[in-house]
Amino acid sequence: MRCKSCKLERQLAFGAEMIVHFPGMEGLDRPIVWVFPKLLVCMDCGFTEFAIPETELALLASDIRKSEALRREESAEDITLRDPGLGSDRRTSDPSGGGGDPETNA
């Protein structure tokens, strides 16, 4: 097989272990994911290819989905905190604060 970088044919396969960290500061609070890919290393230029195995890829995808759902939930909570009226049913609340018919004061 030819190297995708230098086009020479001196590639060797190696086993590896690595830790995948999620990006950004919020990634510091998320769990790391160990992956054990097979590396295909060009012995001429050092270009390396690998694919993350299905099991570990599923862990990464699952954590990303959880993170996106949590981010959406936090965003909704933030909006509600900024506008407390969003948390109640505005149809039953009286904007004047009186709670009844303003003409009869009832």
- In tens, the pLDDT along 1-38 reads 899 999 999 999 999 999 998 888 888 888 888 999 99
Angle at 12 between CA 8 and CA 16, to 5 degrees: 135
- Other CB atoms closer than 10 Å to residue 90's CB: what's the count? 8
pLDDT > 70 fraction of the chain, expressed in percent and rounded? 60
pLDDT at 14: 97
Mean pLDDT of the region 41-56? 94
pLDDT given at position 46: 96
Q: In the structure encoding, which two tokens stand for residue 55, read together?
A: 């099991």
The pLDDT tens digits of the residues spanning 79-95 come to 556 555 655 554 444 55
